[in-house]
Structure 1
Amino acid sequence: MNIVDARGQDCPKPVILTKETVEKGCRSFVVWVDNEVAASNVQRFLESKGFMVKKEYGEESIVLEAKIESKEGESTPQKKGSIGIMFTSDKIGAESGGLGDVLMKSCLGTLVQSEKAPSVIALMNSAVKMALSGSSCHDYLCELRDRGTLILVCGTCTKHFGITEAVSVGVISNMFEITEAVFGTSKPVVIG
């Protein structure tokens, strides 16, 4: 059986190593990682490609056993007209006495009220702070999540700011998944 040893690798390397194994046509293999964020990222990637994933916890690693469920091994294509938004700041524009905060709340509030919610929102850099329960934008993100919007939060960014454990809306993710999700939509938008 093929083994992907991704222990000790920084995000998004575990997903990239797993992707390389999938692209080689492997239909059954094992991935070793050493943290829960990497395990979750790899599991979501594999499931998006049609794999059944069994997760087991060892003393020094998490083992993901992957077996293909479908013949194609392809992810579900994005719906026509889907919108993906990447926010790179918790403010819109240059800070000017609180204006950036007001504009961000207005933007998210408008998205909540729009007829069609974005299919994915990715939070990068300081935008990850919006995923904290004390953020003025938190409730809007919760409403969008409840409407079916996938909220992806950059794990490298949350680690940088020391807030990973405090994130209360969205999924801690990685650059590979975020890029695929946002730019895989028919209308990707970057704000920040």
Structure 2
Amino acid sequence: MMQIDATGKPCPQPVMLAKAAVDGGAASLEVTVDNPVSASNVTRFLESQGYSVTPGGEVPRLVLKAEKTGEAGPAPALTCPSSPATGDYGVLLLSRTLGSESPELGDALMKAFLGTLAQRTPLPSVLALMNGAVFLALKDSSAHETLGEMAAKGVRVLVCGTCTKHFDVTDRVAVGTISNMFEITEAVYGTAKPVVMG
């Protein structure tokens, strides 16, 4: 039985750890989380993938034992509450620059914007990157460190998987969770104040 300790991991990391095990072909797994929301998200995901889940333990060590019993279906939407450092607004970036008249200026403006946003209180609960904005999460981008700092403070950084595949940069993503249109749309437009830039 594969064992996954997801205690202390912010949403959606517990689900992503379980997904990696499922994608790796695990027939049985045991996932330990520290809160009911993570337990619910992991349980719903595993059940959608054809696993039978038996919960046990109590906060702060909830143990979910799962056995593969059926076929996979569509993954459910996640419920990720804001952390104390984040507010009820989401940001969707569509470009690696702000503006298009001057690439150099646009690059500098985007770095300044992200640096300023990282110091804001509260932070956004979600920051999603689509189209050219996925380049901001790459290992060789100077912005990925700022995004990493925001993620460490509880911001969900979602990176469009279709976009990284299109640009052939998936293996270079250094921060955030590779995501999809459904999760990104639900996460950003599920906040009280969605902001789209790019």
Report the TM-score when normalising by structure 2: 0.61
CA contact (8 A) 1:88 1:126 kept: yes
Question: Percent identity, aligned pairs only?
Answer: 48
2:98–2:107 CA contact under 8 A, matched in 1: yes
Deviations 1:120-150 (A, max 9, x none): 0000001001111111211110111111100
Aligned AA (1:88): L
- Equivalent AA in structure 2 for residue 139 of structure 1: E
Contact 2:95 2:133 in 1 (8 A): yes
Residue 176 of structure 2 is matched in structure 1 by 170
Distance of 2:45 and 2:89 partners within structure 1: 32
Structure 2 residue corresponding to 1:52, chosen from 40, 43, 53: 43
The answer for the alignment partner of 2:67 in structure 1 is none
Structure 2 residue 128 is the aligned partner of structure 1 residue 128:
no
User: What is residue 146 of structure 2 aligned with on the other side?
Assistant: 140
Say if 1:107 and 1:68 are closer, same or farther in 2 by CA, change over 3 A.
Answer: farther
Q: 1:142 to 1:75 in 2, by over 3 A?
A: closer
- Give yes or no for contact 2:88–2:124 (8 Å, CA) kept in 1: yes
The gaps in structure 2 that reach 5 residues or longer are: 1-21, 25-37, 56-76
SS in 2 for 1:153: strand
What corresponds to 1:65 in structure 2? 51
- Bigger relative contact order, structure 1 or 2, given CA contacts below 8 A and separation 6+? 1
State the distance in 1 between where 2:105 and 2:122 align: 26
Q: Give the structure 2 partner of residue 156 of structure 1.
A: 162
Contact 2:89–2:125, Cα closer than 8 Å, also in 1: yes
What secondary structure is seen at the aligned counterpart in 2 of 1:98? helix
Q: Secondary structure at the match of 2:171?
A: helix
| SS of the residue 2:134 aligns to | helix
**Number of aligned residue pairs:** 140
**1:35-50 alignment runs, 5 A limit:** 50=41
Task: Give, as a single letter, the amino acid of the residue that structure 1 aligns with 2:130.
Answer: M
Q: CA deviation at 1:87?
A: 0.3
Match of 2:8 in 1: none
Aligned amino acid, residue 52 of structure 1: T
What is the match of residue 27 of structure 1?
none
Task: Verify the 8 A CA contact 2:78 2:183 in the aligned structure 1.
Answer: no
TM-score of the superposed pair, with normalisation by structure 1: 0.63
2:99 counterpart (93, 98, 103) = 93
Q: Deviations over 1:38-93 (max 9, x none)?
A: xxxxxxxxx686451686xxxxxxx5415597xxx994666895110000000011
Q: Report the secondary structure of 1:109's partner residue.
A: helix
